[in-house]
Structure 1
Amino acid sequence: MKYIEEFREQGLARNIAANIAAEVDPGREYRLMEFCGGHTHAIFRYGVQDLMPGNVGFIHGPGCPVCVLPMARIDLAIRLLREENVILCIYADLLRVPASGRQSLMKVKAEGADVRMVYSTQDALKIARENPGREVVFFAIGFETTTPPTAVAIRQARAENLGNFSVFCNHVLTPAAMTGLLDAPRAAGEEPVQIDGFLGPSHVSSIIGSRPYEFVPERYGKPVVIAGFEPLDVMQATLMLIRQLNEGRCEVENEYTRVVSREGNRKACDLVEQVFEVREQFEWRGLGHIAHSALRIRPEYADLDAERRFAALADADALIAADNKACECPSILRGAKKPVDCKLFGNGCTPETPMGSCMVSSEGACAAYWSYGRFRQDAQAASA
């Protein structure tokens, strides 16, 4: 890869689109889930859906770590700020995620809580060094992509004997989420989601490799093609899925070979295994509690685990918070509905005034619909 423009070249896009049009079976539907929110934004930003035949559709999946974070975890962070008077370091996407009682970290910050936005775990460590008299908690969030930097920060804090630093761990696991998605019971009044194949995540797969997805075709009979984030990556991976479905094959393929291998980044994975262990259960917004789907800090690093350190987080795994009943984020994250199916979308729920997490995150499906105008096209199609 010399230049990123090579993966956005219009002539190549038209060529792949022509191949897709020539190879699709007009007598069947192709329902493909792009698991990752980064793919959702690429599809909308570059108009990939518009280049597809009418019987090839993308289903938006739960691959946005901010979106799938249950409301209770934000409630706990707010409780931590109010009861323990800590400095809470967060990534910017978390600031506006709605909590219970129409609260958010932005609102409690405006009330005087010490919430600080950081770009990396190293920023959080720096804040802890500069404030030795204050407890500094890093709100760790993300899939396997952002977990290694958290592990590095924990080990670095231990090496420096940084006694005022700890981590509130909310890291979750992609393969387990795919299991939860495929095993999810039908919600009341909601048809089961029909998925023919998956576009596998990009950045996550660069860490864990392609091997962890092999259970999906083996157990569920669904093909997976790992795709890069550029529009030509998405289109080529779509063509690869269509070919698998047409030929009756079902396997894991890797379109993103320039970055992803079967085994992944073993050094990063080994580091994560040294610092974290798998939780028995963890709640996902839209998918409920999924077994072995998240990480917690190992007992060897208990002094750096905010859940063990602060009384305000003592019942972290037990706390349950009810989502806004009018918000369709849970159904959107399961792929059962689109953002335009939500009555709040654009009607009180916008990026400036989000009612649900899917409108907040830079990888959320609602944010993609809003940012790239897809909701206008769907509205026009519905009225035609």
Structure 2
Amino acid sequence: MLALKTLYQGFRDPQTLAKLATMIADEAQQLIEPIKIMEVCGGHTHTIMKYGLKQLLPNNIEFIHGPGCPVCIMPKERIDHAAILACLPNVILVTLGDMIRVPGSKGSLAEFRSQGHDIRPIYDPLDTLNIAINNPDKTIIFFAIGFETSTPMTAVLLEQAEKRGINNLLFYINHVLVPPAIDAVMADPDVQVNAFIGPSHVSVISGSKVYRPCVEKYQTPLVVSGFEPVDVMESILRIVRQKVQGVAELDVQYSRAVTEEGNLAAQNKNQETFVVRESFRWRGLGPIAKSALALNPKYSHRDAEIIYRDQLPNTEIDDHKACQCGDVLRGIVKPKDCKVFGRGCSPQTPLGSCMVSSEGACNAYYRYNGVS
């Protein structure tokens, strides 16, 4: 335990951070244009804000916050669907963490829970098995969210339900994929991004190889980074060096956990359990082709989206007019540019998903940078 604590203190060591900051500043003097780095994952956003990394960097390096928060990108109509399912007779809706607080068009799942509907937030998907076993007269619906990181857990949950004959467990699948979102960001004609910090945990599962097509297509450096402040600063240094050399390469700073191929066992589990959707609408980014998963048709007997299709309206629902969460997710504005940031919108009274989630950019700005 002491060795682990010492290790993580090293990843946050002020002297190391100061040395990296000096190296970045020295080498950034050779840049011919500013670097606008999109950190895809909300975990990196919180590291950047919590440790004041922007303040350590020269003015020609800027962060643009990306859509890598699975709670933030969920469109209102999908949250409304979950609420509809939760309101059905004899249903228990189960979902992960912050998802319960994200507002849909008729309120959040937490508000529906306060009205007496059985909605349960969990942090381990396998806890859903016990809920199903302990409530055999109820239909349990798992509202599955997340990127490649959490997808294998849903696959294992389904596998266990099948093996153990737990027939009252259904799934409403909302798993999404990172590479198509990066492609959508770069395809935007107003894009300002010219480098990426790639996500950590997603890459452990998918492998770094999944980003190579975007790097080659857009000639944009991408460095897969760990979550610690030293990780992020080293990744920025690697991006600066690529820019100075005039190259665009896929690089892995987080080599202690990420390989080129990733976790093949998890990937195989996903491929057996899911199929790629033709399109999925992302909050802020709109419809993105082949950017999300659905249950393999052989599991249609567990697919709540199919079983209850007649109760789930096929209607797109926009965000609150005053909320600029969509623009934040696209990297067009910073959280503090939103007129309701810290005024009508706070973690206690969120108007948008970026303020709700513990990985959301607005949440990070509010928590570490304040309202002023």
Q: Scaled by the length of structure 1, what TM-score is found?
A: 0.93
What is the distance in 1 between the residues matched to 2:108 and 2:188?
Answer: 29
Which of 73, 80, 92 is equivalent to 1:75?
A: 80
Matches within 5 A, 1:265-344: 265-311=263-309, 314-315=312-313, 318-344=314-340
- Which residue identity is paired with 1:135? T
Is 1:63 paired with 2:68? yes
Indicate how the Cα distance of structure 1 residues 313 and 214 shifts in structure 2: closer, same or farther if over 3 A, else same.
farther
2:163 counterpart of 1:167: no
User: Do the aligned residues in 2 keep the contact of 1:86 with 1:114 (CA within 8 Å)?
Assistant: yes
Partner of 1:382: none
Task: Measure, in 2, the Cα distance between the counterparts of 1:119 and 1:313.
Answer: 28
Give 1:22's aligned amino acid: D
Shift in Å at residue 309 of structure 1?
Answer: 2.0
Alpha-carbon offset, residue 6 of structure 1:
1.3
Q: TM-score, normalised by structure 2?
A: 0.96
Alignment pair present for 1:4 and 2:8: yes
Cα displacement string for residues 263-309 of structure 1 (whole angstroms, at most 9, x for unaligned residues):
00000000000000000000000110000000000011111111122
- 3-state SS of paired residue (1:83): coil
The counterpart of 1:345, out of the listed 333, 338, 341, is 341
CA contact (8 A) 2:84 2:312 kept: no
Aligned partners of 2:370, 2:12: CA distance in 1, in Å? 20
| Deviation of the 1:119 alpha carbon | 1.4
Answer yes or no: is 1:247 the counterpart of 2:245: yes
The amino acid of 1:234's aligned partner reads: V
What amino acid sits opposite 2:325 in the alignment? C
Aligned mates of 1:314, 1:370 — CA distance in 2: 35
- Residue 258 (structure 1) shift: 0.2
Asked if structure 2 preserves the Cα contact closer than 8 Å seen for 1:169 and 1:296, the reply is yes
Work out the CA distance in 2 between the residues paired with 1:335 and 1:170.
23
Mapping of 1:76-155 within 5 angstroms? 76-101=81-106, 103-155=107-159
Report whether the alignment pairs 1:224 with 2:228: no
- Contact kept, 8 Å, 2:41 with 2:67, in 1: the verdict is yes
Please say which of residues 198-207 and 2-11 is displaced more in the overlay: 2-11
> 1:343 & 1:222 partners in 2: Cα distance?
32
| Match status 1:355 vs 2:360 | no
Residue 204 of structure 1: aligned partner: 202
Name which of 16, 22, 25 aligns with 2:20: 16
Q: CA deviation at 1:184?
A: 2.8
1-structure distance, mates of 2:275, 2:349: 37
Task: Indicate the SS of the match to 1:214.
Answer: helix
Q: Which residue of 2 aligns with 1:380?
A: none
Cα pair 2:194 2:220 within 8 Å, conserved: yes
Query: 1:308–1:314: 8 Å Cα contact kept in structure 2?
Result: no
Match of 2:360 in 1: 364
What amino acid sits opposite 1:32 in the alignment? Answer: I
1-structure distance, mates of 2:282, 2:333: 17
Please tell me whether the aligned partners of residues 144 and 173 of structure 1 are also in contact (alpha carbons under 8 angstroms): yes
- Structure 2: tracts of 5 or more residues without a match: none
Task: Decide whether the 8 Å contact of 1:89 with 1:139 is kept in 2.
Answer: yes
1:80–1:312 contact (8 Å) kept in structure 2: no
Secondary structure at the aligned position of 2:193 is classed as coil
Shift, 1:85, TM fit:
4.0
Q: Is the 8 A contact 1:210 1:264 kept in 2?
A: yes
Given that residues 96 and 104 in structure 1 are in contact (C-alpha distance below 8 angstroms), is that contact kept between their aligned partners in structure 2?
yes
Distance 1:78 1:208 in 2: 31
Q: Percent identity?
A: 46
Name which of 53, 58, 76 aligns with 1:53: 58
Q: CA deviation at 1:4?
A: 1.1
Contact 1:279–1:293 (8 Å) recurs in 2? yes
CA deviations 1:107-158 (Å, max 9, x no partner) are 1111111101111111111100000000001110000000000000001101
Q: Which moved more, 1:200-209 or 1:216-225?
A: 216-225
1:159-198 matches, within 5 Å, as: 159-185=163-189, 192-198=190-196
Equivalent pair of 2:225/2:254 in contact (CA under 8 Å): yes
Aligned residue pairs total 367
Q: Which runs of 5+ in 1 are unaligned?
A: 186-191, 377-384
Cα distance in structure 1, aligned partners of 2:159 and 2:311: 22
Query: Do the aligned residues in 1 keep the contact of 2:341 with 2:371 (CA within 8 Å)?
Result: no
